Amino acid sequence: MKKIILTTVTSILLSSSILGACSNNKTTDEAKPTASSAATMPVVEATSTPEPSATPSMEAQESASPEATDPLTSDRPKTKAFGEQEGGVSGQEGTLGKGDGYSLYVFQGFTLDSQSGRLSLTEDPTYYAEIKHLPADYDLTALKQQGQTELSAIGKANDHSGELIEHPLGFAELYLQATGDKGIEDYMVWKNQAGEAFLFRIHNPKGDSSNKFAPWVMVSLATLELEGN
């Protein structure tokens, strides 16, 4: 009898141990997912960090667009009317012509050679004005000496520099003129209102076409402007 009771007690104790062990294992298993979730949180945060936006680089590309550096084109009208000139010369319309980096209005009967910078009468090219744009640091004294040397082959050079009364150019920093058998030669340094300086060599043979040349060549030169300004 005692042996049976002992066996029963032993079985009860063994069952309790087994149940306790199972209970402990269950508790441990339930805790494992919690620990695993906590360990993966930094990874989730790291992978969810947003990447830098590409918008700033796109804006930088747009700001560096080639259109911003394109040179300006001339906005001067293609034609312009000019009134009556001194001596009762009837007014006429000029057409915008372009030379080497500059533009000016060219009148009927004149031709502009953009490569040589020569504005001449179409029917008689011996009447002409040579145009040269001067750099900002030009030497006026040296230009005057050069002009006097060039004109000495024609005759005595008279200096008319300064204000030009009733003249389309209005004012000339340098205006040398010589008269000889071949006509009249002018050597001029002139600035427009924008301060852009030009050198003119003007040849007027004083023949039958002089009345067509003299009034309008000066008006045309007075319209000179550099392109893109």
Which of 69, 102, 124 finishes a domain?
69
Give residue-wise pLDDT tens across range 115-144. 999 999 999 999 999 999 999 999 999 999
pLDDT band at 90 (very low <50, low <70, confident <90, very high): confident
Which of 14, 40, 69 finishes a domain?
69
Number of domains in the chain: 2
Q: Tell me the average pLDDT across 8-21.
A: 43
In a domain, 158, yes or no: yes
Which of 15, 40, 69 finishes a domain?
69
**Residue percentage of the chain with pLDDT more than 90:** 59
Q: What's the domain range around 107?
A: 79-226
- Convert the chain into a string of H (helix), E (strand) and C (coil): CHHHHHHHHHHHHHHHHHHHHHHHHHHHHHHHHHHHHHHHHHHHHHHCCCCCCCHHHHHHHHHCCHHHHCCCCCCCCCEEEECCECCCECCEEEEEEECCCEEEEECCCEEEECCCCEEEECCCCCCEEEEEECCCCCCHHHHHHHHHHHHCCCCCCEECCEECCCCCCCEECEEEEEEECCEEEEEEEEECCCCCEEEEEEEECCCCCHHHHHHHHHHHHCCCEECCC
* pLDDT higher at 174 or 34: 174
